[in-house]
Amino acid sequence: MAWRWTAWRIVISAYVVFHLVGIVVWNVPDSPLKQTLFPAFKQYTLRLGLWQSWQMFAPDPMGETAVLESEVIDAQGMRHLYAFPKVAELPWWRKLPRFRHPKLTCNLMLDEYVPLREFTARYAVRQLNLTPDQFPVHVSLYCQVKEPPPPGVPYVDPFQPCRMHTLGVYDYASSHEVHP
């Protein structure tokens, strides 16, 4: 029985070391060592939602409000819009499990997250619950960015235009391409 306990401790220790090395590799400045080790940890970090970037910290934090949306045009030409959840509009008990949504929106605008963009577009199509006869579909994933109000102004002008960033355009011929 002691060997099982020892084996279990080795497995857990190996996982903790792997996890900690992955977090360190993700956060260190660009270097040859990071370029070598980064591919080994990239999928693990992205799939668990543990990625992060420095755009939220000083000296130049992101001040804009970013909203992620997806426009889906089905085979009949009908336009469907999927707006990803806006955490700020939710009560605190519903915010807790979704606290990574704003981070996802900001990170999708970075070039290193291009593979995650298609995954996000597939998610949007799944959330719309389209029937198989509505395929093929054309999906546009985009981000609306609004500037913050100027100093001294308590709110943003609702008619202020926002900048649109197209993150990707995808075509799915059947529902099998969207559902895992």
Mean pLDDT by 10 residues, the chain (180 residues): 86 93 84 86 77 62 78 94 80 71 74 84 92 93 83 76 88 89
Please report, for the chain, the start and end positions of each structural domain, with discontinuous segments joined by +: 2-48, 54-177
Per DSSP, the residues of 45-92 read HHHHT----GGGSTTS---SEEEEEEEEE-TT--EEEEEPP-GGGS-H
Q: What's the pLDDT at 30?
A: 78
Q: What's the pLDDT at 54?
A: 64
34 neighbors 28 (Cβ within 8 angstroms): yes
Identify which of 72, 77, 49, 73 has the alpha carbon closest to the alpha carbon of residue 123.
Answer: 72
The pTM assigned to this predicted structure is 0.66
**What are the residue ranges of helices labelled H in the chain?**
2-27, 32-48, 92-95, 101-108, 114-127
Q: What's the pLDDT at 100?
A: 58
